[in-house]
Structure 1
């Protein structure tokens, strides 16, 4: 369903391109019946037609078709999952996720805008030499592990971890009928053909005594926060691939909350050469630096890209901003250190500049929320033309986990723990709290695809 509006907005003082008038087209992505994931579990009454496939983790424009329709490719993440209490095993507790469909295969789908509708079709499942992959967490001993235990809807361990698991979060055309994807486990970069078969996978190269299932990228990327690996990806006209870590790195568990930048990675697929850059997130807007998140990217040319920055600010209000960033004068972070430590340990950006480390520059283009955007996550970004930006939301497969009979101010499932007998604890005290899975409603129920037409071209 399409909604169109002409929304007036004041230009921001930082912005070269911020529009004074923007035409906005709003679509809820419609899914075919076969895109409903079969589910017969404890909460089947919430999903009588199955769980809807959650698109919007990535977005790539495939062109205007002869019939006038606009064709996009979009992407799922690892599958229908939700927050869950920590798994309590004796004195040890580990993070968990509820996997509603443990054998779900991450996939791409076409999305076509025509006749006032955005309709998804033609699912392309991701596969390797062994067949369809899955979205399950990686084994604990591997680089890229999140140490998560996969639980059923009954909060029982359901499966072993998987070396073939991917949590895909972005896609872009490779210019030859295939795609480059990014993942937030490894973090990995994955090259696939038009049928979704994995041709190559790049990940942090292992140091001594480390184990990995993919290499070719700087080892430091292993310090991504769990489930915050690569979140955005773009292909430059030169053919190089740019990927953005979702948030600040947490080196030795010490830098996530204070690091003054988020890492960008550049990969030359032909030579394997890599570079890294420092993206200056709006550090003063957040309660802590770790709260800033990247949504996605798209390239304008070999030096300039649009990037979504988002997250809850210090007042817990959601922000979703599109910036134009320029790599021209940014320093390659490879092997850069300050006083023997990685740049993330620098006291502030002034210290980085004094050490000769220049960050990416950026200018505000569009405040999505000021133009009506109301979904929490803006995770797909692409260009229809040099005046029209397309943005997609991730609806998390239209489900959420609710806390029932909460204790004190413990509102999140992962504030609690649970043992093999089903006993729930809060700070080692048994409680009567329980959890329920609910189907989302309103704007969060479906993936959204919005078109923002600016009043001036970007190029």
Structure 2
């Protein structure tokens, strides 16, 4: 199964996991159907069952440009989906990198409206032309405000003309169906890093995965930061504090047959979910069959790990119940 680029926790212990565009670009992903999988991990045995899922489709013809398939089932040549939230009515909002666009789909995966473009920003894959964002650098992360009113989509790449290594976090009003004009800047530790996911902790704080592009023994930066939109030090970028170093996790019981230090050394780590106030779930995108971070020369599995934090997040109760 192609790797996971977004995850949602369900009330019954299962998770909805989003697979991205397939095999890395438009040209080689026309035969990959965009899909939300339903998975059920058993944290006691370490097994994960795949229960099913839904395909993303556009039966009502909302997408204004030609699709790959005549039946209007969406493929990896149509969109590169990387982030997902679920709102109160059960519908999904999905962040795409080819536009970048926001996609709104019902519980069965059917689009409910035309893709919503980001004003003033275009990726190279956008048919409107004049790109000012790198390829596959669109909405890699997207957080939902705990009260359900706003989305906060985060670009993976720097918009042309912005300071090197800064990423734009936007605010989108769900009731209005439009961007509010409010935005923030996230500063990467290094300009060649990328983000992997962004989720809400409360109305002001988010968890953001930051990573380098290396894998295996060469991997040096795979981190989860707690980020604050209030910018208390007034430096013009989001405040950030380290929550977990995914290359240096204590494993005193040697779980999984690993040593007392556990590494999550994958090129693309794109999923974080809050399980309780001191426990996170983290998943990789295995880029099947191209990544080999766990064992050189062997295609990576998708892995689902849980991390016990040293300190509670003090997350919004609505986030913990979601």
TM-score range, shorter chain: 0.7 to 0.9
What is the alpha-carbon distance in structure 2 between the residues aligned to residue 170 and residue 318 of structure 1? 24
Please report the RMSD computed on the Cα atoms of aligned residues, expressed in angstroms.
3.0
Q: Is the 1:398–1:446 Cα contact (8 Å) retained in structure 2?
A: no
**Structure 1 residue ranges without an equivalent (≥5):** 1-52, 83-96, 137-164, 284-288, 331-349, 402-439
1:373 to partner: Cα distance: 1.1
1:204 to partner: Cα distance: 2.5
Q: Which structure 2 residues correspond to residues 39-54 of structure 1 after superposition, within 5 A?
A: 53-54=1-2
What is the alpha-carbon distance in structure 1 between the residues aligned to residue 225 and residue 305 of structure 2? 17
What is the alpha-carbon distance in structure 2 between the residues aligned to residue 180 and residue 230 of structure 1? 12
Rate the CA distance shift 1:199–1:456 in 2: closer, same or farther, 3 A: same
Larger Rg: 1
1:297 to partner: Cα distance: 1.1
* 1:202 paired residue number: 116
* 1:133 paired residue number: 74
Q: Is the 2:291–2:300 Cα contact (8 Å) retained in structure 1?
A: no
What is the alpha-carbon distance in structure 2 between the residues aligned to residue 121 and residue 441 of structure 1? 30
SS, match of residue 250 in structure 1:
coil
- If asked which structure has higher relative contact order (CA below 8 Å, sep 6+), I would say 1
Output one character per residue of 1:172-225: Cα deviation in whole Å (capped at 9) or x when no partner: 211221211111111111111111111132112479xxxx789xxxx99x5221
Please point out which of 196, 199, 204 is paired with 1:298: 199
Q: Is the 2:4–2:283 Cα contact (8 Å) retained in structure 1?
A: yes
* 2:105 paired residue number: 192
Q: Is the 2:219–2:267 Cα contact (8 Å) retained in structure 1?
A: no
SS, match of residue 223 in structure 1:
coil
* 1:72 paired residue number: 15
Between Structure 1 and Structure 2, the one with more helix by share is 1
1:228 to partner: Cα distance: 0.9
Please point out which of 278, 282, 291 is paired with 2:185: 278
SS, match of residue 146 in structure 2:
coil
SS, match of residue 89 in structure 2:
coil
2:266 corresponds to 1:375: yes
**Structure 2 residue ranges without an equivalent (≥5):** 62-71, 250-262, 315-322
Please point out which of 86, 111, 125 is paired with 1:173: 86
Q: TM-score, normalised by structure 1?
A: 0.55
Rate the CA distance shift 1:109–1:259 in 2: closer, same or farther, 3 A: same
* 2:52 paired residue number: 122
How many residues get paired?
277
Q: TM-score, normalised by structure 2?
A: 0.77
What is the alpha-carbon distance in structure 1 between the residues aligned to residue 84 and residue 144 of structure 2? 9
* 2:277 paired residue number: 386
1:259 to partner: Cα distance: 1.6
* 2:318 paired residue number: none
